[in-house]
Structure 1
């Protein structure tokens, strides 16, 4: 799974995406994946979950797995970092004026817009108003299951700018068909204050916000996350690793989509899931990344087992 240079650096931290990676098609962690996580922790490797989900929504699947309260959950694509026990480690918020400007800049797409606020309490739960929308119909059509699951947290506010009169948001999100969201991304990138995160990011010296794209071709669904500048899974993971005294070369990153690219790029060991979009798998092949098994084939477990076997071979 690793080339010779990677083998020279043992893994001390494993960062794992959730949807399409750790979670199977049923939305749960398989017994084999869970056993692999436990084996890694038993071997002294720190497990970090890095997801596009906000903290409380991620905890729906993570709660009850037996992960330690001290384990770290990087949520909202790197905007917020908390422990599984809900202790806040880091939070980045968008400037309110920038958020208001964005609502007007993407006016054509505001019926596909969700604004996220960090209202997580000490119990790890959110409150209604942590998610704000102006229109329901378009979002119910594109992400209906997500809307239903998050109904207790959604507030409908018109115009949506009214939600920006108090606390600053951590994230804005556009959801729709792949073609429409690529147009939305292009519209956003017309402004020099907006930069794209991923393979071949556009560099802007005065960047105010960063875009992260996630695509699900089989569902013709794309999500464009709009985050404070400098926020990404990779950036948050690197800051955490630095605090832990872990080098990037000692990190295994496992992901399946474009919003995982930043952490795959910075990690010394990288595994892209076999269910990743075809164009991303092609990029992985070109860059020499390992393409593993699918999320419904316990691809996470296979990747972790390989790393642990390599570690064991060093000590025997």
Structure 2
């Protein structure tokens, strides 16, 4: 099984899957390797780049950092909801950062598309300033609800997220962690303890001075979702290669038999990778994913990649 992140990993600087990366994924499929995409994007937004590529419809797509798993053909495999009572106290707990808050609901239809209200925001200005392109691209799915708690009168959400500068989001993370029901940035499944209701997953882009803090139901992560999917597909942990570039990929890099961190990863994450013994791949704009897959299929994984240092 090959599990690959999207943004900063599979997708190039143009936000698309390159011809070489796509050819490598298809070669893996042809060789009988399970191809899994694991992303912080929700299912609908991920399929914008994946639909039409000709990848197998039964391939797994781990979305929203592990809260939802579907096939690429939109068949639901598992989903974990954030209880509305938990979401309600979180809204109050992050009062200072409400203008950076987005709430996500799983409203994927049989065709893989969402409808409006899949994303809910209370204020627009701050979010347009930090993630303007994302806001424009997702406009058809965004509902403006003030106060945002009113959105919780229906179904439970799958996640909440805060977006802003790296410094501001580090403060938001610290504020969240003041509550005993909040766990730090999610790592492996062994990290969860009794009493924890939600877990934080951070994605940082220092060059853009952008950070996203995802607030997920406790126990949800790319790593835990990947382990369950692998077990369902009869794949052992030692048979998994995971490729990622950011902090929200740590959990799946930890659980995989072989882990590859992209060269465009944040510097502090690269430093951590040294201690973990992970391999270092090329950048996302250098077809780093293709190089990893080609080496793995040729049986030359160790020789083609350097250990992070």
TM-score interval for Structure 1 and Structure 2 normalised by the shorter chain: over 0.9
Match of 2:118 among 125, 130, 145: 130
Q: CA RMSD in A?
A: 1.5
Distance 2:53 2:191 in 1: 39
Match of 2:6 among 18, 27, 32: 18
Other structure's SS at 1:310 match: coil
Aligned to 1:280: 269
- Tell me the CA shift for residue 205 of structure 1: 2.0
Aligned to 1:221: 210
Distance 1:291 1:101 in 2: 40
- Tell me the CA shift for residue 197 of structure 1: 3.1
- Tell me the CA shift for residue 69 of structure 1: 1.0
Other structure's SS at 2:299 match: helix
- Tell me the CA shift for residue 221 of structure 1: 0.2
Aligned to 2:220: 231
Does residue 1:28 correspond to 2:22, yes or no?
Answer: no
Deviations 1:247-284 (A, max 9, x none): 11110000000000000000001100000000001111
Aligned to 1:254: 243
Does residue 1:305 correspond to 2:264, yes or no?
Answer: no
- Tell me the CA shift for residue 202 of structure 1: 6.9
- Tell me the CA shift for residue 199 of structure 1: 5.4
Does residue 1:147 correspond to 2:162, yes or no?
Answer: no
Give aligned pairs, total.
Answer: 301
Alpha-carbon spacing, 1:135–1:33, altered in 2? closer, same or farther (3 Å) = same
For structure 2, the 5+ residue unaligned runs are 302-309
For structure 1, the 5+ residue unaligned runs are 1-12
Distance 1:202 1:57 in 2: 29
Aligned to 2:307: none
Aligned to 2:147: 159
Deviations 1:169-221 (A, max 9, x none): 00100000000000000110111111023459975420001100000000000
- Tell me the CA shift for residue 86 of structure 1: 0.5
Alpha-carbon spacing, 1:203–1:234, altered in 2? closer, same or farther (3 Å) = closer
- Tell me the CA shift for residue 311 of structure 1: 7.3
Does residue 1:42 correspond to 2:27, yes or no?
Answer: no
TM-score w.r.t. the length of structure 1 is 0.93
Distance 1:51 1:43 in 2: 24
Does residue 1:209 correspond to 2:198, yes or no?
Answer: yes
Q: After TM superposition, list the pairs within 5 Å mapping 1:44-193 onto structure 2.
A: 44-193=32-181
Distance 2:219 2:191 in 1: 13
- Tell me the CA shift for residue 286 of structure 1: 1.8
Kept after mapping to 2: 8 A contact 1:196/1:202: no
Distance 1:109 1:91 in 2: 27
Distance 1:197 1:247 in 2: 26
Other structure's SS at 1:261 match: helix
